[in-house]
Each structure stands twice: as C-alpha cells, then as structure tokens.
Amino acid sequence: MALMRPLAEADLLLVIDVQNDFCPGGALGVPGGDEVVAVINRMAPHFHHCVVTQDWHPADHLSFASSHPGRQPLETVTLDYGEQVLWPDHCVQGSHGACFHRDLDWRGADLVLRKGFHRAIDSYSAFQENDRATPTGLAGYLRERGSRRLFIAGLATDFCVAWTALDAVAAGFDAVLVEDACRAIDLDGSLAAAMGAMTSAGVTITRSTAVTG
C-alpha cells in the first residue's frame, strides 16, 4: 500500500464527481459517498496540482431512464455506441444535485472538468466518453502541464473512478487508486470486476495514509 516514490511536482490529485447527487440522499446516492470528502480534504494540501470532475448532464440525457418510456433505472439499453445502463435523472446542469458536496474543498483545483454534457453519449471516464471515441481533452491538458502520476479519488469506484483509472493507464500516465477515498455502487458484482480490471491494467492501489503520512 506504500507509494513507490514520494510526491513530486508532476503528481496530481484527480477527484471524480464528488457531487450532491452521488452522495447519500442524492438522486443516485452511492453508499457512504459523503465519507470520501474528509479523506480528499486531508490529501489535497499535499499536492501541487488538483483536477476535479463534474458530471454535467442536460435534462433529457439519453442515459436517463426517463428518456426511454417504459424503462426503469438500472435496466440496460443499446445506444449508438453500445450497451448503456439507465440511471435516475442526476447531475442535471445547474441543479443542486450537480453541485459539489458542500464540504468538499475544491478551491485549490487547477481545473474543473465537466463531462457528460453531450445528450447522446454518457461519460464515465474523465478522459474519454462512453463511445470510446470522443476525448474530453484531459490527457492533453495533463501532458502540457507536465503531470505524470495521477492519484484518483471520488465516486464511484466501479464506474467513473475505474473507467478514469483504466483510461489514465492507456493514455500513458501512472494511475494510483486511493481506495479509502472512493466508494462504490457495486451493481451485480461491479466493484470486484472493476478492482480486478484496474489491478490487471497496472493501476497501483494505495490508501490515503500513504499520502498524508
């Protein structure tokens, strides 16, 4: 669980979707989702750089079950880019649910990256939308800023966090999952599958104490 080397200028904290709708009481609340806030706040001062992501859906997004008459949340449909889980309406642009958790200290973030704003494409990963062809621009931003190792935290471990970590490795970055700074939905074994995929891809698994001491 220890870090391979001390934190450096090229290390970055990447905080995924710590928004009201993903916290308990939200439209798509992740169990214990609000518990990551304190952990992330403790880690953040140890980094020179931080990026936070924000799900930012139009009200008629095609990943919403409400956009498919007769369908229910957690059912799957086939969209132009393949299979898509249908979700409750969440993180609608400008809504309270789309706002960051009130206690998350994101004031020091270098960048707020909004994703999922294309109506016809969902976006789990911070790097690439679910069609696996539309980039968010994050990889280029990080390369130009000299970032090399990404410490990934947030919600949810088995969806947006895992997809981000896997895409980070594919884009040539060193990805580190801060396990206690994440929480999972765990839909039909999705957490175990995500952890296995990340480990196989070379994502380092650590805990926040490896950062904070």
What is the radius of gyration, based on Cα positions, of the chain?
16
Cβ distance 78 to 71 under 8 Å? Answer: no
Cβ distance 77 to 35 under 8 Å? Answer: no
The Cα–Cα gap between 18 and 156 comes to 9
Indicate which residue of 11, 17, 21, 174 is catalytic.
17
Reduced to 3 states (helix: H, G, I; strand: E, B; else coil), residue 135 is: strand
The Cα–Cα gap between 87 and 83 comes to 13
In the residue annotation, 115 being an active-site residue is answered as yes
Indicate which residue of 50, 91, 160, 182 is catalytic.
160
List residues bridging with 152 in a β-sheet.
14, 177
Cβ distance 211 to 7 under 8 Å? Answer: yes
Indicate which residue of 115, 122, 167, 182 is catalytic.
115
In the residue annotation, 55 being an active-site residue is answered as no
Q: Which residues are identified as catalytic?
A: 17, 115, 160
